[in-house]
Amino acid sequence: MSVTAAKGFTAAGIAAGIKENGNPDLALVVNTGPRRAAAGVFTSNRVKAAPVLWSQQVLADGELTAVVLNSGGANACTGPKGFQDTHATAEKVAEVLSDRGAPVGAGEVAVASTGLIGVLLPMDKLLPGVEKAAGELSAHGGEKAAIAIKTTDTVHKTAVVTKDGWTVGGMAKGAGMLAPGLATMLVVLTTDADLGAEDLDSALRQATRLTFDRVDSDGCMSTNDTVLLLASGAAGVTPARDEFAEAVREVCADLARQLIGDAEGASKDIRIEVINAATEDDAVEVGRSIARNNLLKCAIHGEDPNWGRVLSAIGTTSAAFEPDALNVAINGVWVCKNGSVGEDRELVDMRYREVVITADLAAGSESAVIWANDLTADYVHENSAYSS
């Protein structure tokens, strides 16, 4: 499963001692070929962590042999020393992999980190950890790798789609600081399909645009978001471009849904469907505005179908609509019709974890879905009681 579901990959997850509680905190994913094509998508936050800057650079040639990931520290806002540490980590991975087979350069190794911003990584623990992880690499190591990248995640997240002779699989971590472009997440996807970097890049961008970029748990954008897709070609099959893109989208959608389902302190997963928009951009803008409205998020937590807060969120956007033509349904009950009172709000059943808000802009035929969470006292507690 996970990143080792596709042929041509090994992985490991170990406890290097970066986390003080002794939990697993270092993962290694290695592409054993024959191809080493790769693509990546990174945070659009202008304050980027050292590993993001590094990985963007090494991906420029569309090839990766390995990805090393650590939890327990984001290595963001750590200055030149932080970048040197990322570089040293990649060098160490190259060294230990070269010791075990064909020569690997640091420029073939992506690095991803997650945890507290503004703290240097304990390199005296991380580098020996790389050595230990390399010793445990296995074609069945995907699950352990997924476990090692958890931070406040309560469960590890993996997904696999298998098609005719080829597979796309992946792992993700992310529980807070989840917002568009991308959610705070580290994701590694692997495939044994025989494809080049350009096809990977195209499929990955299409997929993230409709999945991770439409997850908005708490409106906060991370400094470390990284989504990588590696292809080994080990299946010896070259799928049609559309079929491959759809498989990548499926895996990303599955992982994105798991991220929302495990968001910090959340008691509800909110599916916001914006329909009849003039453009897809309008639909996304409105969906995000609803997703980020703290008052509405509190109301959903309280199982209160407070559609007035939906309308006030729509009203802050520049999307095309007429206020007196707006319709809003909560869990299928059209509580707002023509911008005013609609069906009886007492009819809305909000007992279940998933809540669906449908916002009908009555301005066209485009639509979009944004996933969000409610705002809870547990979220406040989890993010105020200690640094993360």
Could you give the CA distance from residue 293 to residue 212 in angstroms, rounded to a whole number?
A: 19
Rule CB under 8 A: say whether 308 interacts with its own copies: yes
Binding site annotation covers 173? yes
Nearer to its own copies, 24 or 73 (CB): 73
Rule CB under 8 A: say whether 177 interacts with its own copies: yes
Q: Where are the alpha helices (DSSP H) in 59-185?
A: 79-99, 123-135, 142-148
Give which of 189, 101, 102 is closest to 142, Cα–Cα.
189
Among 60, 102, 240, 385, contact with its own copies (rule: CB under 8 A): 385
Minimum CB separation from its own copies for residue 273, in Å? 19
Among 202, 302, 364, 366, contact with its own copies (rule: CB under 8 A): 302
Among 98, 154, 162, 338, contact with its own copies (rule: CB under 8 A): 338
Nearer to its own copies, 353 or 381 (CB): 381
Among 42-50, 62-70, 101-109, 357-365, the segment contacting its own copies (CB under 8 A): 42-50
Binding site annotation covers 388? yes
Check whether the bond before 28 is cis (ω within 30° of 0).
Answer: no
Binding site annotation covers 7? no
Rule CB under 8 A: say whether 363 interacts with its own copies: no
Neighbours of 344 (CB within 10 A): 10
Binding site annotation covers 184? yes
| Residue 184 is among the residues annotated as catalytic for this protein | yes
Give which of 164, 210, 157 is closest to 187, Cα–Cα.
157
Nearer to its own copies, 77 or 210 (CB): 77
Rule CB under 8 A: say whether 260 interacts with its own copies: no
Nearer to its own copies, 11 or 126 (CB): 126
Positions 97 through 126 that interact with its own copies (CB under 8 A): 116-120
Catalytically annotated residue among 184, 190, 211, 376: 184
Q: In what order do the strands lie in the sheet with 340-341?
A: 215-216, 366-373, 269-277, 354-360, 327-330, 333-337, 340-341
**Do β-strands 333-337 and 327-330 pair in parallel, antiparallel, or remain unpaired?**
antiparallel
Minimum CB separation from its own copies for residue 157, in Å? 21
* Residues in contact with 355: Cβ distance below 8 Å, sequence separation at least 6, in sequence order: 268, 269, 270, 271, 300, 330, 331, 374
Minimum CB separation from its own copies for residue 72, in Å? 14
Nearer to its own copies, 5 or 375 (CB): 375
Could you give the CA distance from residue 95 to residue 169 in angstroms, rounded to a whole number?
A: 27
Residue 140: exposure state from Cβ atoms within 10 A (0-12, 13-18, ≥19): exposed
Amino acid in position 158: T
Give which of 107, 17, 116, 18 is closest to 64, Cα–Cα.
107
Binding site annotation covers 151? yes
Rule CB under 8 A: say whether 252 interacts with its own copies: no
Nearer to its own copies, 73 or 142 (CB): 73
* Residues in contact with 227: Cβ distance below 8 Å, sequence separation at least 6, in sequence order: 40, 41, 42, 182, 185, 186, 187, 189, 204, 208, 212, 252
Catalytic residue numbers? 184
Give residues in contact with its own copies (CB under 8 A).
Answer: 44-48, 74, 76-79, 81-82, 116-120, 176-177, 218-223, 292-295, 298-299, 301-302, 304, 306-309, 311-317, 321, 323-324, 326, 336, 338-341, 375-377, 379-387
